Chains A and B, each alone.
Chain A
Amino acid sequence: GENVEQHPSTLSVQEGDSAVIKCTYSDSASNYFPWYKQELGKGPQLIIDIRSNVGEKKDQRIAVTLNKTAKHFSLHITETQPEDSAVYFCAASYANTGFQKLVFGTGTRLLVSP
């Protein structure tokens, strides 16, 4: 079945540095790739997404890149701030019954130190 691998599992950076989280997916038919941020004890919040017809998307300090040939996509956070500390999940869409669902990576715990 569909599988999404996410790396690294933990990432520690200094405030102001950049952070990069990488994911690979297995289903070449996947066409939607969202990223979620989850703070402690809360539900995941959609922060950015990308569709298969574009290679890159930016929203202020965050960006996502997609390489369909290699089947991987990445989240880039620039000028990190302590409030960026959270668990980040990538996901990829799949449709084994004609209905689009999401399969998630195992998460990356990002710690931004002041």
Chain B
Amino acid sequence: DGGITQSPKYLFRKEGQNVTLSCEQNLNHDAMYWYRQDPGQGLRLIYYSQIVNDFQKGDIAEGYSVSREKKESFPLTVTSAQKNPTAFYLCASSGQDAAEAFFGQGTRLTVV
């Protein structure tokens, strides 16, 4: 089945630690995105990548980093510089119509 796979589903992090969230897609999509979702605030764009080996900051990139070494993969690292990392993180991808995005099932990150 084609789709977007995020792992893990739940992730716990101690303060001061970096953690990496995985996102893999087998839809052959060029573009991939990371969003953060907080209660009552909708989805906010963290980073996006239009093509392999290229990525751009979104609206809330501070404290996050990404890489795009393969078309299928777009991992997100939440660094210790992110002051309020507890949130639901969503990965998405889109094909030729860059605006038509399809989402993974999300990773819930909790800082303990």
Is B99 in contact with A44, judged by CB distance below 8 angstroms? no
Interface residues on B, range: 20 to 34
A61 within 8 A of B: no
Q: Is the interface of B mostly helix, strand, loop or mixed?
A: strand
Question: Which A residues touch B56, using CB under 8 A?
Answer: 97, 99
The residue on A at minimum CB distance from B45 is A101
Looking at B13-21, B66-74, B76-84, B102-110, the stretch in contact with chain A turns out to be: B102-110
* Shortest Cβ distance from residue B50 to the other chain A in the assembled complex, whole angstroms: 6
Is B100 in contact with A34, judged by CB distance below 8 angstroms? yes
Are A99 and B50 also in contact (CB < 8 A) when A44-B90, A89-B43 are? yes
Is B101 in contact with A102, judged by CB distance below 8 angstroms? yes
CA distance A104 to B42 in the complex (A): 6
Is A99 in contact with B43, judged by CB distance below 8 angstroms? no
Which positions in B face A, CB cutoff 8 Å?
Answer: 4, 6, 31, 33, 40-45, 48, 50, 56, 58-59, 90, 97-106, 108
